[in-house]
């Protein structure tokens, strides 16, 4: 069975500060991991995905995530927050068979000017 | 311009009425999904379909029904049996097979039932 836990339903950072959004996963098989972003009243947009090719994954808008098997984590980071990064972020896991996704409960990011 | 369309963006219904949400994709994806989103609960899977004329229940299928008569279309009906239908509904699609397959999302439909 697969599941993800996102620690912190709300995170606030100052503009220009480091963004760190936490995601821990549980999977009985080697997982595929994803980060999505959602702006108010919109659908989800893929930020990045882990495919086992590299543990450090770079995505769009300057975001990156590092897969750490020993910690079962896939935390999302960005060195310098922009006002436009304010949104809801979802971590998701999928088994390598089938295509059913399991989403975390989301982290709402606020960027303070 | 490829993508997933959902209509309408906002939908209002009276309690006791069935309502159908539209989802269309022109990405030639085999799989399509319906999720419900409530504040603080993330996305929960209602139904999914991997092939025309076949679909499976997700985690919260009670009170919902779907059909998949065409590859491009996967409408969701919220029936009067759904006890708390007010929510944001998201449709997604994706490819199948071995390897990684991300899901692509539509813009969502916000349903309000009073």
Query: pLDDT (tens digit, 9 = 90+) per residue, A10-44?
Result: 999 999 999 999 999 987 777 889 999 999 889 99
Residues B46 and B104 sit within 8 Å (Cβ to Cβ)? no
The one-character DSSP state at B33 is E
Task: Reply yes or no on whether the pLDDT at A97 is more than 80.
Answer: no
Q: What chain A residue is nearest to B48 in terms of C-alpha separation?
A: A100
Q: What is the pLDDT of residues A35-91, one digit of tens each?
A: 999 998 899 999 999 987 788 999 999 999 999 989 999 999 999 999 999 999 999
Cα(A5)–Cα(B56) distance, rounded to whole angstroms? 25
- Say whether residue A45 is in contact with chain B using an 8 A CB cutoff: yes
**Tokens matching residue B84:** 């708390």
Distances (CA, A) of B83 to A91, B12, B15, B43: 28, 16, 9, 18
Contacts of A109 (CB under 8 A, 6+ apart): A11, A12, A13, A19, A21, A81, A85, A86, A87, A88, A89
Q: What chain B residue is nearest to A6 in terms of C-alpha separation?
A: B42
* Chain A residues whose beta carbon lies within 8 Å of the beta carbon of residue B92: 44
Q: A1: helix, coil or strand? A: coil
Nearest to B32 by CA among B8, B61, B68: B68
**Could you tell me the pLDDT band of residue A96, with boundaries at 50, 70 and 90?**
low
pLDDT at A51: 80
> Cis omega before residue B80 (within 30°)?
no
Q: What is the pLDDT of residues B71-89, one digit of tens each?
A: 999 999 999 888 899 999 9
Task: Reply yes or no on whether the pLDDT at A98 is more than 60.
Answer: no
Task: Reply yes or no on whether the pLDDT at A99 is more than 70.
Answer: no
**Best residue in A25, A57, A101 to probe B by mutation, most B CBs within 10 Å?**
A101
The answer to whether A96 contacts B43, with C-beta atoms less than 8 Å apart, is: no
Instruction: Compute φ and ψ for A108, nearest 5 degrees.
Output: -90, 120
Q: What is the pLDDT of residues B24-67, one digit of tens each?
A: 999 999 999 999 999 888 899 999 999 999 999 999 999 999 99
pLDDT at B52: 95
- Say whether residue A3 is in contact with chain B using an 8 A CB cutoff: no
pLDDT at B101: 80
* Chain A residues whose beta carbon lies within 8 Å of the beta carbon of residue B100: 32, 49, 51, 94, 96
pLDDT at B1: 60
Across the interface, of B41, B98, B106, the residue whose CB is closest to A105 is B41
Burial class (CB in 10 A: 0-12, 13-18, 19+), A83: exposed
């Amino acid at each position: 069975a697969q599941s993800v836990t996102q620690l912190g339903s709300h995170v606030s950072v100052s503009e220009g500060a480091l963004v760190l959004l936490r995601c821990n996963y549980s999977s009985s098989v080697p997982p595929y991991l994803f980060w999505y972003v959602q702006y108010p009243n919109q659908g989800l947009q893929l930020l990045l995905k882990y495919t086992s090719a590299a543990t450090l994954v770079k995505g769009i808008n300057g975001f990156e995530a590092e897969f750490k098997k020993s910690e079962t984590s896939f935390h999302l980071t960005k060195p310098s927050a922009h006002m436009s990064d304010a949104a809801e972020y979802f971590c998701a896991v999928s088994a390598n068979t089938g295509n059913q996704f399991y989403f975390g409960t989301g982290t709402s990011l606020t960027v303070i000017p | 311009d490829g993508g997933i369309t959902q209509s309408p963006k906002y939908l209002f219904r009276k309690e006791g009425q069935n309502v159908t949400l539209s989802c269309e994709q022109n990405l030639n994806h085999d799989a399509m999904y319906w999720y419900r989103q409530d504040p603080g609960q993330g996305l929960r899977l209602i139904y999914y379909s991997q092939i025309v004329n076949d679909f499976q229940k997700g985690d919260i299928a009670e009170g919902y029904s779907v059909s998949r008569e065409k590859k491009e279309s996967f409408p969701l009906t919220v029936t009067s049996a759904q006890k708390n239908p007010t929510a944001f509904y998201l449709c997604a699609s994706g490819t199948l097979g071995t390897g990684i397959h991300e899901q692509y999302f539509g813009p969502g439909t916000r349903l309000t039932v009073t």
